[in-house]
Structure 1
């Protein structure tokens, strides 16, 4: 089993448990369309780019490293890697806010208007590729690829936690670490909070370089950006800002949230993320060509679910077709064998079938075209 599958499953579990707590303890509505967009923005294509980032770091270490750090005592080497990675992240994060083409990549993370753990999953597809240059010094100084992967995983876990909507202040930790209270400020679109608190784990860099800002009691934080992309499709969420930066024409995007209730989006999105986790779990167990087909199908399902969430007609038909294609691929062509994979594939296929039938019946209902239906 791929070692990354269990952390991903725990991450999804934490997202769902936090949403339940925010609903039942805080009385907050469940922003399912936003949550599913967050999850859809943070998997297969982004992980593919993450693999390219690690491969690039490994190549630099093998061909250009001075091999200083890897010759130190292990404690010193790991401590250096931890601190140096955090410093590199501070500057890559700051530059992704300051340079237009990098902001066009990063802005998808800031378009989320609800602060919860799912926002920590919402990342740009290409972010790993544009992050690599800021970690080149680590490879040159002798931080091994194993240390790089382990340290970055630790930092990303902290950053995931820092999007927790349940945690208020963290006591003494707020003074020297990036905590949810400190990171909320970073996501504010208020003038007082824009381009502040870039740190990932340690608050040292923001205080050292003059970008630290505490939450002001008289300035409530407003999340999001001033020019959001009006789509729940991760394709447009990642592409439109880049088109705008290049001065190219962008499509006129509008959501029709009445077309498909949020419950269909929520269940479909969670099932799809489960399939993604299973794809990671079984990596290398399938023949190479089927692994590629599975990857492509998951990517297409991600885009189809985005179209379904936006209320697009093509999404209402493509989602059921692709969802039904998954169990056909998994069981009918590749052959049954893995109970978990087969169960997830069948569950997603049944969801697609039920969702498609619901839209057919709704279209045939006289109420669906009445003025009363439009106002529901």
Structure 2
């Protein structure tokens, strides 16, 4: 049973309730572009994860089958409790090193790029974390935690972390000493020097208290959310590539081969001396901090929301049926999702090429649907062509609707 799939409707319901709480309390913790950007990175992560998460699961299963020191019974409650606590302990170190080493931060930084803080931020997840994450959970396989138990507690750990991404819940008394709470996790998402790189636990804050990485939220120091190298983009594909691109640029520019290699595994923010001298990077003045914003007309926003809803629907379809699809069909679905979310990002940024890219995306739907049934993306193609026709006509109508109001996608650059 895929717990994340069943939780998706509740995620959106709770986001809607948080929006109502914002309105009731006179707060503003959401902006449309930021929320869609966060949700887009989540959709992209879950979609690509259908292909990539197999690396970690297969590696874990192999280590458990051939290298486990114990044979822990999956039917015993104490094994589940051990696995739940053990998973969070391993997560703590993955998360901590994800902030402390360049190549791991390149993956994890996606989750921190939002300058807002709300429940949609919880769904803002990386698409590249699979590269190294599996290494941190191998101790559980060696201990003998069965794969089914491991996969279940991993999902429960992730589900717990959803609710702590909110500004509406204050400090919770003695629970602040034991659990990761919204207050504790707000600190984690801060870019203030006082708070930065603190509170790494997923469920339990005790690890941070034990290993010296805890910081309490201080009402005298309001949290400023985001990262010190701002994304300044609404594009989920670029969100996943930004820090990798920065590391690659520094590796290419430095003259020493040793620095080209070690740069990736040095502490976060470390740069070769010759590159730092020739290409200095200043940190933003938090006293002058302002949210990233690109003005969009109401009709542009409505079109983007409608198209994003289509991508959520397809992403849910892939999540529900991806396990039974052949690899070719799954890759086709992932490619369509990634390309579509990239194009929506250019629209949110009002890029000059956004209209052309959107027309190209709609045109490519024809060969995509032609390949969908033979490659296993769709169970049958009888309804695919009528659905494509309706969708394409409606999309073209939406584009014409924008133009009729004098609102062209990409009319002005950032």
* TM category, shorter: 0.7 to 0.9
TM-score (norm 1): 0.84
Which runs of 5 or more residues in structure 1 are unaligned? none
Distance in 2, matches of 1:62 and 1:31, equals: 48
Residue 69 (structure 1) shift? 5.1
Q: Within 5 A, what are the aligned runs for 1:244-323?
A: 244-246=246-248, 247=250, 257-258=295-296, 261-283=300-322, 289-323=328-362
Provide closer, same or farther for how the CA distance between residues 161 and 29 of structure 1 changes in structure 2, counting only shifts above 3 A: closer
Question: Cα gap change, 1:99/1:264 in structure 2, threshold over 3 Å: closer, same or farther?
Answer: same
How is 1:1-376 mapped onto 2 (pairs within 5 angstroms)? 4-28=4-28, 30-43=30-43, 44-66=47-69, 68=70, 70-71=72-73, 74-246=76-248, 247=250, 257-258=295-296, 261-283=300-322, 289-323=328-362, 326=365, 334=373, 349=392, 352-361=395-404, 365=406
Which structure 2 segments of 5+ residues have no match?
A: 254-278, 280-291
**Relative to structure 1, is the Cα distance of residues 169 and 349 closer, same or farther in structure 2, using a 3 angstrom cutoff?**
farther
Task: Name the residue aligned to 2:269.
Answer: none
Q: Matches of 1:344 and 1:182 in 2, distance apart? A: 47
Question: Could you tell me how far 1:281 is from its partner in structure 2?
Answer: 2.0
Q: Confirm or deny: 8 A CA contact 2:74 2:149 kept in the other structure.
A: no
CA–CA separation in structure 1 for the residues paired with 2:383 and 2:4: 17
Q: Structure 2: how far apart are the matches of 1:344 and 1:21?
A: 37
Number of residue pairs matched by the alignment:
363
Q: Distance in 1 between matches of 2:148 and 2:199?
A: 28
1:178–1:203 Cα contact (<8 Å) kept = yes
TM-score where L is the length of structure 2: 0.77
Equivalent position SS for 2:314: helix
Report if the CA contact (8 A) 2:88-2:203 is conserved.
Answer: yes
SS of the aligned residue for 2:318 comes to helix
Tell me if structure 2 keeps the 8 A contact 1:50–1:129. no
Relative distance call for 1:291 and 1:134 in structure 2 (3 A) is closer
Residue 316 of structure 1, CA deviation: 2.3
More deviation in 254-263 or 289-298?
254-263
* Distance in 2 separating the partners of 1:152 and 1:342: 39
Distance of aligned partners of 1:20 and 1:344 in 2 relative to their CA distance in 1, 3 Å threshold:
farther
